[in-house]
Structure 1
């Protein structure tokens, strides 16, 4: 068992901005509880907590088979590099945040090395959407999965996956309370990965240029990461309408309070918008491989608010080819209908309450508690 004053040795890896935020929140929670020494891979948020990243997090921020194939040699090297670094550091606990395929490859490599510490996967894979057989395949690798969606522990249990606990999402701490606004900025969230930006940014431009003069729209704003700020400024400089780019977290929070509507690429940001009670239209342009998989699985919902609530609370537009007309129409419908925006806000309140508490059998837990539970179980001679 861990003794009083012992130092927790943690290796933590985040492969993309949403995971970086989750990982940084976990590190902050652990620092409040125990002496902590940590290493790993992360972005600006983990680095702000003192992490010296093993390599740039952006190396892992890929989505879609075409993006993966382009970076496959680098990704395979990063798997080996990560596993070797963990083996050398001999941490008590490894937390791999999201980046599902990469995380599983690292876990498999660590098992081959005979790594004796606890491996925790933070953010459950979407086995409920496709490939349910993946749940049981995770069990040999991970001591526990920390889920950010309230229904996932029950799903993982039913499918024979690892022990799974619901821990909520850091953005829950930024819940707002407000009504639909008559007028405000239109927020554009075109993604953060290179592939997402390639597929969505010009599409968002076409919508913005044709909706900017709507009486409910008071300017176009793109909140982004600090690492993408200059790129967004450059790429929007030639747009036919002025665009304000913000990358400061406080500025983003202020923007959400003022926003009339958001157009967002499907992902964790759709939950952040819901917690901030910003009405939204959710979209995603698939690459050809993603489109085939999506069709094969019956075109399931992709917007997290819709998935969690089990109903179409927000419009979602999943496209195999970019279609600005369809997107423009969906945005215009919401801008013209304040009651529809207010209905979304009411649904977001229901969603936030559910995510605050979790389900009856799987109530929300503190992620630091779950990590420390594994640390406290280790023999005193370990590490």
Structure 2
């Protein structure tokens, strides 16, 4: 039986979006004959996408980095709009990159594109600028949410129709059930240039402190291929050797025996939770983020804690990097296997909750749906 043909324009703005995009393309290719145009990273290119430009050009976060990159971002926006219009896609799927995606959707509609436009990954309206939900209502035909409570939040705030589809990392790794006391420590300092600039010096001091107290501990740093030379150079002078890992299979193998991890708050903490890796979440804000954080009310910064609505994972949020409390928190975890097991038990609950689509915050749940089916539901095939 011949598969129906679908012309898809898809865009991902960073590594986490590239993972989501690759999973979506894999699912769609099993159902339809895809003609692809858009922007993505190495994993989406493995699925047949020829990216218009390097995904690194969109991978910025924080006001300082966005302002510094504004000229390049606007240039890439114009280029992307032109490419999408010329491609005449049946449907457009924009993955995260919230500001860029909203601007792109608005310009596509202004240029006369009338096909469905989907946003994959909901904006964090539950913590910052809830009015954004209504503002994006005219831009997107549907939002595909990766967190179970976001469907209800978008409904309450008057946003576009939203469906819970879960996160592809749910299916990528085998979850640990018990701590690995003799295993290595994973370091995840982020992938964006600004994040690395703010976090690497603190991670270097962390390695120094842990190595002095525990000379037997080994370290590895999972990252993207294009960052490998830079990170090898940066970590070459650290107090202990750090293995730079770019292969996804190798990363998952190491997670299976990892003692604990230290990760920049973000989607990396969710992947660690799905793998059953105890960790500490941290984040060093830039000046713009620090100012905004003072106007917000939030209890947690790591996704496992946010979804479970409990302080399962230790969190350290800094206006200025400070390795001392980070070293103390990690050392305390190393010395307390019961705390490591408590995290693992919590991650098992989290995984079951997200797999079923339960809200986890005292709200009604919404069953997890297949993202490819939601995309195809907008097409007459």
Check the 8 A contact 1:185/1:260 in 2, yes or no.
yes
Is 1:227 the counterpart of 2:226? The answer is yes
After TM superposition, which residue ranges in structure 1, 4 or more long, deviate above 3 angstroms? Answer: 213-217
Which consecutive residues of structure 2, in runs of 5 or more, have no partner in the other structure? 359-363
1:363 match? 367
Alignment of 1:192-341 (within 5 A): 192-215=191-214, 218-341=217-340
Judged with a 3 Å threshold, the aligned counterparts in structure 2 of structure 1 residues 217 and 376 are, in CA distance, closer, same or farther, namely farther
Alpha-carbon shift at residue 183 of structure 1 (Å): 1.6
Q: CA deviation at 1:250?
A: 0.8
Find the counterpart in structure 2 of residue 163 from structure 1.
161
Q: Which residue of 2 aligns with 1:64?
A: 62
Indicate yes or no: 2:345 matched with 1:346. yes
Residue pair 1:185, 1:261 contacting (<8 A) in 2 also: yes
Question: Which deviates the most, 198-207 or 237-246?
Answer: 237-246
Gaps of 5+ in 1: 378-383
State the partner residue of 2:361.
none
TM-score computed with the length of structure 1 as normaliser? 0.95
- Of residues 352, 359, 374 in structure 1, which corresponds to 2:378? 374
| CA–CA distance in structure 2, aligned partners of residues 290 and 300 of structure 1 | 16
Deviation at 1:148, TM superposition (A): 0.4
Q: Is the 8 A contact 2:17 2:95 kept in 1?
A: yes
- Aligned equivalents of 1:185, 1:69: Cα separation in 2: 38
Secondary structure of the corresponding residue to residue 296 of structure 1 = coil
Deviation at 1:175, TM superposition (A): 3.7
Q: How far is the alpha carbon of 1:246 from its aligned partner?
A: 0.8
The equivalent residue for 1:380 is: none
Give the match for residue 149 of structure 2: 151
Q: Structure 2 CA distance, aligned partners of 1:249 and 1:135?
A: 35
CA distance in 2 between counterparts of 1:235 and 1:102 reads: 30
Q: Distance in 1 between matches of 2:115 and 2:43?
A: 25
Quote the residue 1:118 is aligned against.
Answer: 116
Over aligned residues, Cα RMSD in angstroms? 1.4
Q: Counterpart of 1:156 in 2: which secondary structure?
A: helix
Give distance in 2, aligned partners of 1:47 and 1:5.
Answer: 21
Rounded to whole Å, the distance in 1 between the matches of 2:216 and 2:19 is 30
